[in-house]
Amino acid sequence: MLDMPPLKYADLPGLRMGYYEAGPDDDPTPIVLLHGWPELAFSWRHQIKAFADAGRRVIAPDQRGYGATPGPEAVEAYDLEHLTGDIAHLLDHLRIEKAIIVGHDWGGIVGWGFPLRHRDRAAGVVGVNTPHLARSPVDPIAIFRKRFGDSHYIVRFQDPAREPDRIFAAHVENLFDFMLRKPPPARTGGGPINLDFPSIVAAYDPARDTRPSIVSPQEKAVFVETFRRTGFTGGINWYRNFTRNWERSADLDFTIAAPCLMIAAELDAVLPPSMSEGMERLCPDLERHFVAGSGHWTQQEAPDEVSRVILDWRGRRFP
Protein backbone atom coordinates (compact mmCIF):
# COMPACT_ATOMS: atom_id res chain seq x y z
CA MET A 1 0.00 0.00 0.00
CA LEU A 2 1.19 3.53 -0.75
CA ASP A 3 3.70 4.80 1.85
CA MET A 4 2.65 2.17 4.42
CA PRO A 5 4.66 -0.49 6.27
CA PRO A 6 3.59 -4.13 5.91
CA LEU A 7 0.16 -5.08 7.22
CA LYS A 8 0.24 -7.20 10.37
CA TYR A 9 -2.49 -8.98 12.31
CA ALA A 10 -3.23 -9.42 16.00
CA ASP A 11 -5.66 -12.06 17.29
CA LEU A 12 -7.56 -10.21 20.01
CA PRO A 13 -10.53 -11.42 22.09
CA GLY A 14 -13.35 -11.77 19.55
CA LEU A 15 -11.51 -9.88 16.84
CA ARG A 16 -8.66 -10.21 14.36
CA MET A 17 -7.20 -6.71 14.01
CA GLY A 18 -5.10 -5.52 11.11
CA TYR A 19 -2.49 -2.92 11.98
CA TYR A 20 0.65 -1.20 10.72
CA GLU A 21 3.79 -0.68 12.77
CA ALA A 22 7.02 1.22 12.21
CA GLY A 23 9.94 2.59 14.22
CA PRO A 24 12.19 1.05 16.87
CA ASP A 25 10.86 -1.67 19.17
CA ASP A 26 12.71 -0.21 22.17
CA ASP A 27 10.88 3.13 22.16
CA PRO A 28 9.54 3.32 25.75
CA THR A 29 6.49 5.43 24.83
CA PRO A 30 4.99 4.32 21.50
CA ILE A 31 2.35 6.30 19.65
CA VAL A 32 -0.96 4.69 18.64
CA LEU A 33 -2.87 6.42 15.83
CA LEU A 34 -6.66 6.01 15.68
CA HIS A 35 -8.54 6.94 12.51
CA GLY A 36 -12.09 8.25 12.16
CA TRP A 37 -15.00 7.81 9.75
CA PRO A 38 -14.91 7.09 6.85
CA GLU A 39 -11.19 6.45 7.07
CA LEU A 40 -8.51 3.83 7.62
CA ALA A 41 -5.08 3.51 9.21
CA PHE A 42 -3.93 4.72 5.77
CA SER A 43 -5.15 8.20 6.76
CA TRP A 44 -2.06 8.39 9.03
CA ARG A 45 0.46 7.43 6.32
CA HIS A 46 2.29 10.77 6.57
CA GLN A 47 2.60 10.60 10.36
CA ILE A 48 3.66 6.93 10.34
CA LYS A 49 6.62 7.80 8.12
CA ALA A 50 7.48 11.01 9.98
CA PHE A 51 7.37 9.39 13.42
CA ALA A 52 9.40 6.36 12.34
CA ASP A 53 11.96 8.61 10.64
CA ALA A 54 12.24 10.52 13.93
CA GLY A 55 13.02 7.30 15.80
CA ARG A 56 9.58 6.84 17.37
CA ARG A 57 7.62 3.61 17.46
CA VAL A 58 4.18 4.06 15.90
CA ILE A 59 1.20 1.72 15.56
CA ALA A 60 -1.87 2.43 13.41
CA PRO A 61 -4.72 -0.10 13.39
CA ASP A 62 -7.66 -0.45 11.06
CA GLN A 63 -10.19 -0.28 13.86
CA ARG A 64 -13.16 -2.57 14.44
CA GLY A 65 -15.37 -2.72 11.33
CA TYR A 66 -12.85 -1.05 8.99
CA GLY A 67 -10.54 -2.28 6.27
CA ALA A 68 -8.42 -5.21 7.42
CA THR A 69 -10.42 -5.57 10.67
CA PRO A 70 -13.90 -6.99 9.98
CA GLY A 71 -16.20 -6.66 12.95
CA PRO A 72 -19.13 -8.63 14.38
CA GLU A 73 -22.72 -8.27 13.19
CA ALA A 74 -24.18 -7.03 16.49
CA VAL A 75 -24.50 -3.23 16.65
CA GLU A 76 -23.70 -3.14 20.38
CA ALA A 77 -20.32 -4.75 19.60
CA TYR A 78 -19.22 -1.30 18.41
CA ASP A 79 -19.69 0.61 21.66
CA LEU A 80 -16.84 2.45 23.38
CA GLU A 81 -16.19 -0.38 25.79
CA HIS A 82 -15.35 -2.63 22.85
CA LEU A 83 -13.51 0.05 20.85
CA THR A 84 -11.27 1.11 23.74
CA GLY A 85 -10.90 -2.51 24.79
CA ASP A 86 -9.54 -3.33 21.33
CA ILE A 87 -6.74 -0.81 21.85
CA ALA A 88 -5.91 -2.20 25.30
CA HIS A 89 -5.81 -5.72 23.87
CA LEU A 90 -3.61 -4.56 20.98
CA LEU A 91 -1.16 -3.08 23.50
CA ASP A 92 -1.20 -6.39 25.36
CA HIS A 93 -0.47 -8.24 22.11
CA LEU A 94 2.48 -5.93 21.44
CA ARG A 95 3.66 -6.11 25.10
CA ILE A 96 3.30 -2.35 25.51
CA GLU A 97 2.47 -1.14 29.00
CA LYS A 98 1.57 2.45 28.13
CA ALA A 99 1.21 4.42 24.90
CA ILE A 100 0.39 7.88 23.66
CA ILE A 101 -3.06 7.66 22.07
CA VAL A 102 -3.66 9.98 19.10
CA GLY A 103 -7.15 10.13 17.62
CA HIS A 104 -8.82 12.00 14.77
CA ASP A 105 -12.59 12.34 14.27
CA TRP A 106 -14.22 9.20 15.76
CA GLY A 107 -10.74 7.99 16.61
CA GLY A 108 -10.57 11.03 18.87
CA ILE A 109 -13.68 9.91 20.73
CA VAL A 110 -12.02 6.53 21.24
CA GLY A 111 -8.75 8.24 22.18
CA TRP A 112 -10.31 10.45 24.84
CA GLY A 113 -12.45 7.55 26.03
CA PHE A 114 -9.47 5.24 26.39
CA PRO A 115 -7.99 6.70 29.64
CA LEU A 116 -11.47 6.87 31.18
CA ARG A 117 -11.69 3.08 30.91
CA HIS A 118 -7.99 2.10 30.96
CA ARG A 119 -6.35 4.82 33.04
CA ASP A 120 -3.07 3.01 33.61
CA ARG A 121 -2.47 2.41 29.89
CA ALA A 122 -2.52 5.98 28.49
CA ALA A 123 0.75 7.87 28.84
CA GLY A 124 -0.80 10.83 27.05
CA VAL A 125 -3.67 11.71 24.71
CA VAL A 126 -3.75 13.82 21.54
CA GLY A 127 -6.97 14.94 19.90
CA VAL A 128 -6.75 15.94 16.24
CA ASN A 129 -9.87 18.06 15.58
CA THR A 130 -11.86 16.03 18.15
CA PRO A 131 -12.11 17.67 21.61
CA HIS A 132 -12.64 15.93 24.92
CA LEU A 133 -16.14 16.76 26.12
CA ALA A 134 -17.96 16.23 29.38
CA ARG A 135 -20.84 13.78 29.47
CA SER A 136 -23.91 15.47 27.99
CA PRO A 137 -26.91 16.04 30.28
CA VAL A 138 -29.23 14.12 27.93
CA ASP A 139 -28.97 11.51 25.16
CA PRO A 140 -26.67 12.97 22.45
CA ILE A 141 -28.99 11.79 19.66
CA ALA A 142 -31.79 13.88 21.14
CA ILE A 143 -29.43 16.87 21.13
CA PHE A 144 -28.44 16.31 17.48
CA ARG A 145 -32.08 15.93 16.44
CA LYS A 146 -33.22 19.05 18.28
CA ARG A 147 -30.31 21.20 17.10
CA PHE A 148 -29.94 20.01 13.50
CA GLY A 149 -33.13 18.14 12.60
CA ASP A 150 -33.82 14.67 11.29
CA SER A 151 -31.67 15.15 8.18
CA HIS A 152 -28.42 15.50 10.14
CA TYR A 153 -26.16 12.61 9.18
CA ILE A 154 -25.73 11.29 12.73
CA VAL A 155 -29.50 11.23 13.21
CA ARG A 156 -29.96 9.50 9.84
CA PHE A 157 -27.30 6.94 10.79
CA GLN A 158 -29.62 5.69 13.55
CA ASP A 159 -31.96 4.26 10.89
CA PRO A 160 -32.37 0.52 11.68
CA ALA A 161 -33.09 -0.12 7.99
CA ARG A 162 -29.53 1.08 7.21
CA GLU A 163 -30.48 3.34 4.30
CA PRO A 164 -27.32 5.49 4.68
CA ASP A 165 -25.17 2.35 4.47
CA ARG A 166 -26.76 1.45 1.14
CA ILE A 167 -26.51 4.98 -0.25
CA PHE A 168 -22.79 5.19 0.47
CA ALA A 169 -22.18 1.67 -0.87
CA ALA A 170 -23.85 2.71 -4.13
CA HIS A 171 -21.78 5.91 -4.41
CA VAL A 172 -18.38 5.02 -2.97
CA GLU A 173 -16.30 7.13 -5.34
CA ASN A 174 -18.67 10.08 -4.96
CA LEU A 175 -18.30 9.90 -1.17
CA PHE A 176 -14.52 10.13 -1.18
CA ASP A 177 -14.44 12.62 -4.04
CA PHE A 178 -16.72 14.86 -1.98
CA MET A 179 -15.05 14.30 1.38
CA LEU A 180 -11.34 14.47 0.57
CA ARG A 181 -11.14 18.06 -0.64
CA LYS A 182 -9.99 21.34 0.83
CA PRO A 183 -12.73 23.20 2.66
CA PRO A 184 -14.24 26.45 1.38
CA PRO A 185 -13.10 29.68 3.07
CA ALA A 186 -14.39 30.48 6.53
CA ARG A 187 -18.09 31.32 6.61
CA THR A 188 -19.11 34.83 7.64
CA GLY A 189 -22.82 34.23 8.09
CA GLY A 190 -25.82 32.52 6.54
CA GLY A 191 -27.86 29.55 7.67
CA PRO A 192 -26.70 26.27 9.16
CA ILE A 193 -24.33 24.05 7.18
CA ASN A 194 -25.98 21.13 5.40
CA LEU A 195 -24.68 17.96 7.04
CA ASP A 196 -27.07 15.53 5.35
CA PHE A 197 -24.17 13.55 3.91
CA PRO A 198 -26.23 10.67 2.46
CA SER A 199 -28.32 13.05 0.34
CA ILE A 200 -25.30 15.14 -0.61
CA VAL A 201 -23.31 12.12 -1.77
CA ALA A 202 -26.22 10.63 -3.71
CA ALA A 203 -26.64 13.88 -5.69
CA TYR A 204 -22.96 14.84 -5.90
CA ASP A 205 -21.40 15.80 -9.25
CA PRO A 206 -17.60 16.03 -8.94
CA ALA A 207 -17.38 17.93 -12.22
CA ARG A 208 -19.09 20.89 -10.52
CA ASP A 209 -16.89 20.86 -7.40
CA THR A 210 -14.06 23.37 -7.73
CA ARG A 211 -12.42 22.60 -4.37
CA PRO A 212 -8.94 21.08 -4.79
CA SER A 213 -8.41 17.50 -3.65
CA ILE A 214 -6.18 16.84 -0.64
CA VAL A 215 -5.15 13.41 -1.95
CA SER A 216 -3.68 12.03 -5.16
CA PRO A 217 -5.79 9.77 -7.42
CA GLN A 218 -3.74 6.81 -6.17
CA GLU A 219 -4.39 7.72 -2.52
CA LYS A 220 -8.11 8.20 -3.11
CA ALA A 221 -8.22 4.81 -4.82
CA VAL A 222 -7.04 3.14 -1.59
CA PHE A 223 -10.14 4.40 0.23
CA VAL A 224 -12.50 3.70 -2.67
CA GLU A 225 -11.29 0.16 -3.29
CA THR A 226 -11.27 -0.72 0.41
CA PHE A 227 -14.79 0.53 1.13
CA ARG A 228 -16.15 -1.06 -2.03
CA ARG A 229 -14.97 -4.33 -0.54
CA THR A 230 -16.03 -3.79 3.09
CA GLY A 231 -19.07 -1.52 2.85
CA PHE A 232 -19.83 1.10 5.48
CA THR A 233 -21.97 -0.63 8.12
CA GLY A 234 -19.09 -1.40 10.51
CA GLY A 235 -18.06 2.23 10.81
CA ILE A 236 -21.62 3.57 10.91
CA ASN A 237 -22.37 1.14 13.76
CA TRP A 238 -20.05 3.27 15.90
CA TYR A 239 -22.60 6.10 15.51
CA ARG A 240 -25.43 3.73 16.38
CA ASN A 241 -23.92 3.43 19.87
CA PHE A 242 -24.09 7.11 20.83
CA THR A 243 -27.06 6.46 23.12
CA ARG A 244 -25.56 3.25 24.56
CA ASN A 245 -22.22 4.98 25.21
CA TRP A 246 -24.01 7.82 26.98
CA GLU A 247 -26.06 5.45 29.12
CA ARG A 248 -23.04 3.37 30.13
CA SER A 249 -20.77 6.33 30.97
CA ALA A 250 -22.80 7.76 33.85
CA ASP A 251 -20.36 6.56 36.50
CA LEU A 252 -17.12 7.46 34.69
CA ASP A 253 -14.77 10.24 35.79
CA PHE A 254 -14.18 12.28 32.63
CA THR A 255 -11.07 14.04 34.04
CA ILE A 256 -7.80 13.00 32.36
CA ALA A 257 -4.68 13.43 34.48
CA ALA A 258 -2.24 12.42 31.74
CA PRO A 259 -0.62 15.07 29.51
CA CYS A 260 -2.97 16.10 26.70
CA LEU A 261 -2.59 17.92 23.39
CA MET A 262 -5.48 19.40 21.40
CA ILE A 263 -4.90 20.17 17.70
CA ALA A 264 -7.79 22.22 16.30
CA ALA A 265 -8.39 23.05 12.62
CA GLU A 266 -9.63 26.48 11.63
CA LEU A 267 -12.04 25.40 8.89
CA ASP A 268 -13.44 22.16 10.28
CA ALA A 269 -17.22 22.53 9.86
CA VAL A 270 -18.04 19.36 11.83
CA LEU A 271 -15.59 19.81 14.74
CA PRO A 272 -14.85 23.54 14.90
CA PRO A 273 -12.17 24.83 17.29
CA SER A 274 -14.87 26.43 19.46
CA MET A 275 -15.94 22.95 20.59
CA SER A 276 -12.70 22.61 22.55
CA GLU A 277 -13.32 25.69 24.69
CA GLY A 278 -13.18 24.78 28.37
CA MET A 279 -11.27 21.54 27.86
CA GLU A 280 -8.86 22.60 30.59
CA ARG A 281 -11.48 21.67 33.18
CA LEU A 282 -11.29 18.04 32.04
CA CYS A 283 -7.62 18.02 30.98
CA PRO A 284 -5.63 20.03 33.55
CA ASP A 285 -2.34 19.27 31.76
CA LEU A 286 -3.35 20.55 28.32
CA GLU A 287 -1.46 22.14 25.44
CA ARG A 288 -3.15 23.49 22.32
CA HIS A 289 -2.24 24.01 18.69
CA PHE A 290 -4.28 25.76 16.00
CA VAL A 291 -3.89 24.74 12.34
CA ALA A 292 -4.81 27.69 10.13
CA GLY A 293 -6.54 27.02 6.82
CA SER A 294 -7.22 23.32 7.43
CA GLY A 295 -10.55 21.59 7.24
CA HIS A 296 -11.60 18.30 8.80
CA TRP A 297 -8.93 15.96 7.38
CA THR A 298 -6.10 17.76 9.13
CA GLN A 299 -3.52 14.98 9.30
CA GLN A 300 -3.85 14.69 5.51
CA GLU A 301 -4.36 18.39 4.70
CA ALA A 302 -1.50 19.68 6.88
CA PRO A 303 0.56 16.51 7.44
CA ASP A 304 3.93 18.15 8.08
CA GLU A 305 2.51 20.55 10.65
CA VAL A 306 0.55 17.85 12.47
CA SER A 307 3.57 15.54 12.58
CA ARG A 308 5.88 18.30 13.76
CA VAL A 309 3.55 19.44 16.54
CA ILE A 310 2.98 15.93 17.89
CA LEU A 311 6.68 15.06 17.74
CA ASP A 312 7.64 18.29 19.51
CA TRP A 313 5.06 17.72 22.27
CA ARG A 314 6.04 14.08 22.63
CA GLY A 315 9.73 14.99 22.80
CA ARG A 316 9.19 17.57 25.54
CA ARG A 317 6.69 15.63 27.61
CA PHE A 318 8.24 12.16 27.20
CA PRO A 319 11.97 12.76 26.68
Of the candidates 53, 31, 48, which has an alpha carbon nearest to the alpha carbon of residue 98? Answer: 31
Q: Which of 105, 165, 177, 268 is catalytic?
A: 105
Cα–Cα distance measured from residue 4 to residue 49, given in angstroms and rounded to the nearest whole number = 8
Report yes or no: 176 and 223 within 8 Å, Cβ to Cβ: yes
Q: For residues 140 and 249, what is the distance between their CA atoms, to the nearest angstrom?
A: 12
* Closest residue by Cα to residue 84 from 64, 67, 54: 64
Count of CB atoms situated within 10 Å of the CB of 63: 32
Round to whole Å and give the CA distance between 50 and 303: 9
3-state secondary structure of 37: coil
Q: What angle, 0 to 180 degrees and rounded to 10, lies between the N-to-C axes of helices 303-317 and 45-53?
A: 40
Based on the residue annotation, tell me whether 312 is a catalytic residue of this protein. no
Confirm whether 105 is a catalytic residue: yes
124 SS3 class? strand
Query: How far, in Å, CA of 105 to CA of 290, rounded?
Result: 16
Q: Is the dihedral of CA 196, 202, 205, 206 positive or negative?
A: positive
Q: How far apart are CA 1 and CA 278, in angstroms?
A: 40
CB-neighbour burial class of residue 123 (10 A; exposed 0-12, middle 13-18, buried 19+):
buried
For residue 211, the SS3 value is coil
Q: Dmax over Cα atoms in the chain, in whole Å? A: 53
Q: Which one from 35, 82, 171, 296 is the annotated catalytic residue?
A: 296
* CA–CA dist 175, 276 (Å, integer): 27
State the distance between the two ends of the chain, measured CA to CA, in whole angstroms: 32
Task: List, by residue number, the catalytic residues.
Answer: 105, 296
